[in-house]
Structure 1
């Protein structure tokens, strides 16, 4: 290892021009990659996996239309809608129907069957009007459980809702933003002129906003992280020159990571948007360690070649080891069956490996080039007078070492107690966690749902039994199941072909299979395909729900399956509940627990790797408790507070563990150096010397990590700053554990025992 690092250290001085040329080429390639970066919300792909639940869902959406491509317009007036305003709304419906990718518009007038040539809305037949009762329910708007769907206008007639069914391609292949912008522009142009206020919401609008905010957050958070990293370096070294030089390599690591994402086809989404800032912050922390060593060597009179070589030989191993432990943390994410998280795992490992190369090669190169400037040389030679040397944790360390056994036993007991609070895991997932409950889109959606009914649904597919087809018998069986679910789930509206049959009966039409088909024929596929499968292989029953916690969705889905299968009938086969809400609720619980399993693997692998690296079993044992305790504390707090473990927190705890180990690595590395340099020294004295030397750097590193991650507070996507908050909590607790608990554990496992 020493020879390898010596060769790496020689490159910045012996092959300066070659490294500069190679770096320039890599930066050009990174620029090309950044220009190809794609931004997506990633919410639809989060549960894409090899699991049977997702395979059934994939087959299900091929047979039935879904609600997640329905946009909503909430139109409001200060007074009850006047005749002129209602006429304006008819014009708006016509204009919306002419926008590309708009499949249908549902409004208080019914289904938009526009006739652009005549410039009006076609009249609906009596049978169409009967189907309209189901039309208003099918996209997710039924709130009345006895046949008549609620109107799309508020009771005081001051608000109305329009439901706009968009082409499914907007959910899978094409961006929806242009279509949504066209809808908003048409609504504001036509309805706004009549004194009506327009608010656009719905799943397409929310997903489009998440994508846009992810794009904005990358610029804001990364810029803020770079500025904060520079400021903390300025405070640590008290030199503008050194702070500026220390910021160059982390910036290059960030650019290369983003370029790699673009070239490799890794899109930035709700999961991957935290990786760039993580790369920036970790590179800054490693660079501060190296810069601190550069300045220390330079102040001792060494030339730049000797300075770089000695610093890399001393701190190269811990920098490599800290990167490898974080890479192990990313590798632990690959245990998840989510293809999106597996992709996150791979991209994170590659980005951190590239960052390590930048830290070990580019950072020394920057200082070699800058050494030619007299102000830089003077700054490096004088930086030893910085405030870091004034930090002395010796008295505190000495006190804890004097009581090392009680301290370790207390910490172990605390860890066991926190584990009981943390386990078994309570998971939660809600789509709106990526937006925020107080976001304007969510508030508008809640207002629209108070008029039109809940948007989300639990789908119960009813497959035709062998020899069966759409007939009065199968419709009667579906009606029996519908009635059973209405009775068993009285708080949740139910929508099926029974809803349409009731509407036909209310208009004195016979609710036969033939009349049901005739009623659905003139309607767009988003309606007909939400009741009868496209391939006519079965019927669909929907239990309408709001945005509920995943545990509640799982309970309702299980109850609906139980009730549906309890109905005695032979015409239909009741399949497992599915749909976006059910799949996300059930798979999120499984996948978050898989991430927890990955964390346990990381918690075991990192100490083993450290023990193997140093060939010291005591180092591996000493690593476990100081790094596990902060994670258990944060996890127990999440469960105790009712926040439970979400994707964001599961990712944060796993990655934070890998990062928190970094401080431990630097302590162990310094302890190993002290033991080699002073083999006859008392073990306690050696620990004191190691802590006195490394504590300032640990405090500075934790400050850099915490302040850098603090930039996530500028993010507009809530999960980003939630992730940052959890990471900062783990970093601070890990620093405390490394300064106070780690020395006491090491003192109990010395090669040479002594007393203070």
Structure 2
């Protein structure tokens, strides 16, 4: 049987031959990897998902290098009926001043940053005097504030019959918020705002990408604890329920624990950051290791109960079950590696890490089960005498599979027809799924960042920034008429853009000076030089060879953002002709998401298709039979299209997390098919009857498939309790797919085999000592 696992299972014979050395090596390797676990750091950088070798992300990087990106803007949103009163404005001004003393803050932009038109001497006085006026003087000030072109609809909104709202845009220093500094900075700003405005009746919420990232990092850290502890506890409970022996429980539990530590340790030593995708690897590795361990332990236990020696039972498990475990690990790793087809560094890293974890789990199982079974089981006769009464749960599953095997045979033609019709219908439904991506769907929904973003969507034009980066050739200067004209033209394009508002640029200031009756050409440069750098750097880079026009849109799906982006780019074509020595480019995180998410999701779909083809080919090569490869197609496609149909029925779409879930779960679902075919090859070499071979395979392997599916589903169930929406979706879809895979392999696969009746014996003829007596 060794050819099924390409010989990898023989690693188990090595560990069986040297059990004590293997146990010592496991302790040393686990200790070394445990050191790497402590090196793992959580990250929540939303733009990293689109990091890859594509022009849209490269342009976004170039903009980020020239300008402080929106990834470092925290929006402190303050609203209330008494907002525009002398006392409340004094409170707000004090908050503005205090925020500037936060160590991680680079600058604060608010209504208190604005100035009035220049006076006769060219000096623009502050909008708010040092002493807040009262009575009629304050009414006059209020009129100026609510009609100021740089405030109204930008930093302040006063809609009729609604509470006024203002925002303080707190710019964070990139270096200061690196690593854990981000969470500390966001928490300090939040605490300061709440304390400063406590008792004022004003409501404070926060929004912005840094707040999203802080919420995401906190959720990832919480998930990490939940996944690791929850996975171990669930695995231990299942082991107790079905093994009821301390020795077997210990062996079964150690496999996922050691596999998880080894995988996380390698990730830590390679300095791979922990994101919402990498965070799902520990539960994946745990369930894979536990599933393989159960297959091995059940085989050892069955042989012992039927009179085999301890050494013989373990060796038999390595040689007959080991090849299937090796092949399932290889095919699962291939499915994981197909994710590298996507042009996303984050997804590529996840695919490689998950494949590495899958293979690590296999080698851990092949080290732990043979060595510890030999060292801990003890006297075989005593084991047999005390084991009979401990199989209550297992006997129930055995009886179910025996009942099922007797029902499949007489109805195999109907079941095959049903499988064919269902497969076609579900495939047609699955193909209706459309790509979908929304930036806010990647973060916890019950956190403050979402509440703040919703307020900005309702009362302003949103918090999602869209930029036009304007660059000019060397020799041109910022205040040249051609350059200023290009910036003004880009500003008009952004203003006229559908669903874009709150537009800021150098031209905003220029227009304000013109409205004030001033000579913009005379006052623009000195006014710019007077403004703080953290403010001017938002729309002019330090070298003064590029400018930024920024507008904001509400939280939209990528499919809705894409027409906005394309319309802006088309409108800029006219400017590109009018200003041939100036470049105009639309960019920003929502822009990159809109342009790349659809392409990335389609790449993931293509990668999944490649994985399916490769896995089918590998099954054919491993079993040296293309007919077996062909037979494996339907039961492996069924769970995929069934899960897609369920997703479509509940109004879902093809998000990156759903396609990744399809890919990962496909790799896991194939395991059942391989174990079934592996056992079928054994039974086929003992009899020329397909009916007997299928019936015996269902009886022997069926119970283990049921139990391993329970293990996989419960192990992945912890992801449903995640605060991160993509992780929740990943878990739900993966569990659905695994249940569908069990149905396909226990009902449809046997029926298809019996209907075709053309399956030839696979592999060598099994010798007497390889046959499992029942």
- The answer to whether TM tops 0.5 is yes
Structure 1 residues 64 and 286, CA gap change in structure 2 (3 angstroms): same
Residue 741 (str. 1) matches residue 742 (str. 2): no
Aligned to 1:117: none
- 3-state secondary structure, aligned to 1:295: helix
Q: Is the CA contact 1:281–1:705 (under 8 Å) kept in the aligned structure 2? A: yes
Q: What does 1:267-278 correspond to in 2, within 5 Å? A: 267-278=273-284
Residue 427 (str. 1) matches residue 431 (str. 2): no
> CA offset at residue 403 of structure 1?
5.2
Aligned partners of 2:519 and 2:315: how far apart in 1?
Answer: 90
Aligned to 1:457: 465
Q: Is the CA contact 2:49–2:346 (under 8 Å) kept in the aligned structure 1? A: yes
Residue 215 (str. 1) matches residue 221 (str. 2): yes
Aligned to 2:644: 635
Q: Is the CA contact 1:70–1:204 (under 8 Å) kept in the aligned structure 2? A: yes
Q: Is the CA contact 2:456–2:463 (under 8 Å) kept in the aligned structure 1? A: no
Aligned partners of 2:540 and 2:83: how far apart in 1?
Answer: 38
Structure 1 residues 509 and 129, CA gap change in structure 2 (3 angstroms): farther
Residue 98 (str. 1) matches residue 106 (str. 2): no
Structure 1 residues 79 and 90, CA gap change in structure 2 (3 angstroms): closer
Q: What does 1:586-665 correspond to in 2, within 5 Å? A: 586-639=595-648, 641-665=650-674
Identify which of 509, 520, 528 aligns with 1:520.
Answer: 528
> CA offset at residue 252 of structure 1?
1.1
> CA offset at residue 382 of structure 1?
4.6
> CA offset at residue 490 of structure 1?
5.9
Aligned partners of 2:553 and 2:148: how far apart in 1?
Answer: 13
Identify which of 528, 532, 545 aligns with 2:540.
Answer: 532
Identify which of 147, 152, 156 aligns with 2:156.
Answer: 152
Deviations 1:564-605 (A, max 9, x none): 223562366453421111112211211111111110011101
Aligned to 1:475: 484
Q: How many residues align?
A: 729
Structure 1 residues 144 and 405, CA gap change in structure 2 (3 angstroms): farther
Aligned to 1:319: 325
Question: Structure 1 length as normaliser, TM-score?
Answer: 0.89
Identify which of 99, 115, 124 aligns with 1:126.
Answer: 124
Q: Is the CA contact 2:262–2:360 (under 8 Å) kept in the aligned structure 1? A: yes
Structure 1 residues 726 and 578, CA gap change in structure 2 (3 angstroms): same
Aligned partners of 1:752 and 1:594: how far apart in 2?
Answer: 36
> CA offset at residue 279 of structure 1?
0.2
Structure 1 residues 507 and 6, CA gap change in structure 2 (3 angstroms): closer
Identify which of 552, 557, 573 aligns with 1:549.
Answer: 557
Aligned partners of 1:348 and 1:708: how far apart in 2?
Answer: 16
RMSD of aligned residue pairs (Cα, Å): 3.2
Aligned partners of 2:9 and 2:560: how far apart in 1?
Answer: 59
Aligned partners of 2:164 and 2:154: how far apart in 1?
Answer: 16
Identify which of 342, 358, 363 aligns with 1:357.
Answer: 363
Deviations 1:625-667 (A, max 9, x none): 1111221222244345442111111110011111100000111
Aligned to 1:64: 67
- 3-state secondary structure, aligned to 1:575: strand
Aligned partners of 2:41 and 2:260: how far apart in 1?
Answer: 16
Residue 284 (str. 1) matches residue 290 (str. 2): yes
- 3-state secondary structure, aligned to 2:707: helix
Deviations 1:393-450 (A, max 9, x none): 4565555554545544553444344434433762122222222444332113322554
Identify which of 180, 183, 186 aligns with 1:180.
Answer: 186
Aligned to 2:143: none
Identify which of 708, 728, 738 aligns with 2:715.
Answer: 708
Deviations 1:497-536 (A, max 9, x none): 3322222223222233x53333332334443233234432
> CA offset at residue 40 of structure 1?
1.0
Aligned partners of 2:666 and 2:468: how far apart in 1?
Answer: 41
Aligned partners of 2:219 and 2:346: how far apart in 1?
Answer: 19
Aligned partners of 2:309 and 2:26: how far apart in 1?
Answer: 24
Aligned partners of 2:598 and 2:156: how far apart in 1?
Answer: 35
Aligned partners of 1:488 and 1:276: how far apart in 2?
Answer: 45
Identify which of 339, 344, 352 aligns with 1:346.
Answer: 352
Q: What does 1:39-438 correspond to in 2, within 5 Å? A: 39-75=42-78, 80=83, 83-110=86-113, 126=124, 148-152=152-156, 160-169=166-175, 175-192=181-198, 198-239=204-245, 242-372=248-378, 380=387, 382-384=389-391, 386-388=394-396, 390-393=398-401, 396=404, 400-402=408-410, 404-405=412-413, 407-423=415-431, 426-438=434-446
Q: Is the CA contact 1:607–1:621 (under 8 Å) kept in the aligned structure 2? A: yes
Aligned partners of 1:506 and 1:177: how far apart in 2?
Answer: 42
Structure 1 residues 417 and 604, CA gap change in structure 2 (3 angstroms): same
Aligned to 2:505: 496
> CA offset at residue 378 of structure 1?
5.5
Q: Is the CA contact 2:469–2:547 (under 8 Å) kept in the aligned structure 1? A: yes
Aligned partners of 2:328 and 2:627: how far apart in 1?
Answer: 18
- 3-state secondary structure, aligned to 2:520: coil
Identify which of 725, 736, 739 aligns with 1:732.
Answer: 739
Q: Is the CA contact 2:76–2:168 (under 8 Å) kept in the aligned structure 1? A: yes
> CA offset at residue 143 of structure 1?
13
Residue 693 (str. 1) matches residue 697 (str. 2): no
- 3-state secondary structure, aligned to 2:226: helix
Q: Is the CA contact 1:419–1:636 (under 8 Å) kept in the aligned structure 2? A: yes
Question: Structure 2 length as normaliser, TM-score?
Answer: 0.87
